[in-house]
Structure 1
Amino acid sequence: MKTMAVVLATGAAATAFVVAAVLAEQRGGEAAAQDVTFLGEPVTAEEIALGQDLYAANCASCHGDNLEGQTDWMRRLDNGRMPAPPHDETGHTWHHADRQLFIITRLGVGGVVPGYDSDMPAFKDVLTDEQIRTVLAFIKSTWPERQRTFQADVTANDEGDS
């Protein structure tokens, strides 16, 4: 009887391992919805999917289909403005708190840095606040765990001082 229990327990553990591995592979390294929050609130898989669609329609033309940003994004353009940065883990988006990312998206960079001249438009008349939230949640869902954890800590410590 004891041997049967060990066999069953071993089989259950192996099955759980295989299921976890398959799910991780299907996710392609992306965060599960339960791993993503915005201002401390969990984000659903449906919200992330909506955010992905809204990103494709409103952001990808500058920030890239794969969140890769524009070429030489750290070097000023001839007009003195900066190219669109990547929103994947190679950029600096994950260094900013949720509130700051929301304000930049809603009001443009000038909403955080008054007088800053940027090609980043304000989306307040294009996307609702909830739609902006889903776009940012989608972006966050693509980051590796290390970047999501760092950014969650920055958000938790954000006191509103941009």
Structure 2
Amino acid sequence: MPFFRRRTILAGAAVLVLGAVVLAWVIVPGREHAARVELGRRLYADHCASCHGTALQGEPNWQYPKPDGRMPAPPHDASGHTWHHSDEELFRITKFGMAAVVPGYESVMPAFAGVLSDREIEAVLAYIKSTWPDRERTYQQERSRGRS
């Protein structure tokens, strides 16, 4: 086989391998993210929607204490304040309860340690974040990077 033809075949093979690597970085993570969001949607429906609402709308009058002094479940959509918290804060609140972030805070929200795995908590949070408009999602990402 002539040198030029062999070189062309090797260059073509290199382009194909490079293309496969790029596709793996772009397509597979997108598919993994979609699967995580779907898992989070199902877990949210099972563990969170009864308080925070099936449409993430929260309880009525969520900004005002109930008669017992505890706050109602806030919305997780863009109308609430969930997107004001970093990934670390959201994870800690979900796993350990509000007192993990605000010492002494009494909440009716249970801690999900022992109920949901870390992976499942991250999936629920991925689902919630997937519903936010770009502005809220960008703000929350910046907050998570410590830039807000």
Band the TM-score falls in, shorter-chain normalisation: 0.7 to 0.9
Structure 1 distance, partners of 2:118, 2:64, is: 31
Aligned to 1:90: 79
Higher RCO (C-alpha under 8 Å, 6+ residues apart): 1
The residue type equivalent to 1:96 in the other structure is: H
Pairing partner for 2:89 from 91, 94, 100: 100
Deviations 1:35-92 (A, max 9, x none): xxxxxxx961000000000000000000000000000000100000000000000000
Q: What does residue range 104-123 of structure 1 map to in structure 2 within 5 Å?
A: 104-123=93-112
Quote the Cα distance in structure 2 between the aligned partners of 1:115 and 1:78: 19
Alignment-derived partner of residue 127 in structure 1 = 116
Matched, 1:150 2:139: yes
Q: In structure 1, how many angstroms separate the alpha carbons of the residues matched to 2:127 and 2:117?
A: 15
| RMSD of Structure 2 on Structure 1 (CA) | 1.6
Q: Do the aligned residues in 2 keep the contact of 1:72 with 1:83 (CA within 8 Å)?
A: yes
Higher helix content, 1 or 2: 2
The Cα of 1:99 is off from its aligned counterpart by 0.2
**Equivalent residue pairs, number:** 119
- 1:85–1:91 contact (8 Å) kept in structure 2: yes
Secondary structure (helix, strand or coil) at the match of 1:154 reads helix
Show the counterpart of 2:9.
none
State the distance in 2 between where 1:59 and 1:43 align. Answer: 23
Question: Quick one: percent identity of the two aligned structures?
Answer: 53
Q: TM-score, normalised by structure 2?
A: 0.77
- Give the secondary structure class of the aligned counterpart of 1:57: helix
Mapped contact 1:43–1:137 kept (Cα < 8 A) = no
For the pair shown, which has the larger CA radius of gyration, 1 or 2?
2
Q: Which one of the candidate residues 56, 59, 66 is aligned to 2:48?
A: 59
Q: Structure 1 residue 138 and structure 2 residue 127: aligned?
A: yes
> Any gaps of 5 or more consecutive residues in structure 2?
1-28
**1:125 Cα offset (Å):** 1.3
Q: Which amino acid aligns with 2:129?
A: K
Deviating above 3 A after TM superposition, structure 1's stretches of 4 or more consecutive aligned residues are none
- Which whole-Å CA distance do the structure 2 matches of 1:58 and 1:134 have between them? 12
The code of the aligned residue for 2:73 comes to A
